[in-house]
Amino acid sequence: MKNKKIIINKIRCLFLLALMFIFTTAVKTVNLTSYLCQNNCKNVYYIVSENDNLWNIVDNYQYNYEKRDYIDKIIKLNNIDNQLKPGDIILIPDVLN
């Protein structure tokens, strides 16, 4: 009976340590990305031309996101709810230098 309690306590301790490790790693990763972007990123204003779409616009820039996530960020930032029109000005965030 006593051995069973010791084993359960060891499992709980290992689980807690693993959880703390995962949490700490996630926090450090987020902070590192923010730090890199603060020092190496800039925002760019882009004037939409004929036949432009977000997919080909973002191909002109370097960024630290998955392409789909980056486009979603641009859509939310610029409140885009329909197709882009020539002459529209959009903000392209977090462009790497």
Average pLDDT on 33-53 reads 77
**Rounded-to-integer distance, Cα 19 and Cα 52, Å:** 45
pLDDT at 87: 93
Q: Are 89 and 47 spatial neighbours (Cβ–Cβ below 8 Å)? A: yes
Give the residue-averaged pLDDT of 32-53.
76
Q: What is the pLDDT of residue 4?
A: 83
pLDDT at residue 82, rounded to an integer: 83
Q: CATH number of the domain at 39-93, out of 3.20.20.30, 3.30.530.20, 3.90.950.20, 3.10.350.10?
A: 3.10.350.10
Chain segment 64-97, per-residue pLDDT in tens: 788 898 899 899 989 998 889 999 999 988 776 5
Contact 4, 58 (CB under 8 A): no
Residues 6+ apart with CB under 8 A from 48: 57, 84, 85, 86, 87, 88, 89, 90
Task: Pick 30 or 47 by higher pLDDT.
Answer: 47
pLDDT confidence of residue 56: 92
Domain boundaries, the chain: 39-93
